[in-house]
């Protein structure tokens, strides 16, 4: 068994695709419209779905925004140089909501960014 994907509902698919591809550097792996259900699924990630977990962006055509709620935590991404990654994210127009630094009660260096719909993305410095 393995994790296949995390699904996020997004209000503006093009805006979200731009964030995940242009700001976070993921690739659009596949996208499909479902006219009968009035929704589109787009899968983004850093590698092929057969080998890595990805993010499924679900856009319901008649819904323009969602409240992320208080049950969802975050998606985590491992990075090689967290300080440089955060600089690049800001330069690309992304929002860093917690600057890089050691996690509370630990030594792992983390940061948080927020996607256009308010979902949290945790960046974790890989050693």
Q: Active-site positions?
A: 122
Query: Do residues 44 and 57 lie in contact, with contact meaning Cβ atoms separated by under 8 Å?
Result: yes
49 Cβ contact partners less than 8 Å away, ≥ 6 residues apart: 4, 5, 29, 30, 43
**Beta bridge pairs of residue 119:** none
What CA–CA distance (Å, rounded) separates 10 from 6? 13
Extract the runs of DSSP E, i.e. beta strands, from 10-48: 27-34, 39-45
What CA–CA distance (Å, rounded) separates 119 from 38? 23
Ramachandran assignment for 30, one of left (phi > 0), alpha (psi -120 to 50 degrees), beta (any other): beta
């Amino acid at each position: 068994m393995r994790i296949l994907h995390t699904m996020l509902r997004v209000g503006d698919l093009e805006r979200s695709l731009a964030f995940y591809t242009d700001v976070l550097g993921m690739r659009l792996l596949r996208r499909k419209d479902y006219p009968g259900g009035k929704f589109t699924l787009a899968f983004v990630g850093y590698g092929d779905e057969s080998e890595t977990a990805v993010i499924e962006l679900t856009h319901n055509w008649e819904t323009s925004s969602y409240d992320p709620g208080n049950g969802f935590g975050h998606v985590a991404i491992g990075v090689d140089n967290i300080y440089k990654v955060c600089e690049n994210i800001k330069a690309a127009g992304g929002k860093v909501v917690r600057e890089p630094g050691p996690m509370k009660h630990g030594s792992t260096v983390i940061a948080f960014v927020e996607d256009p719909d308010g979902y949290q993305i945790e960046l974790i410095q890989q050693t």
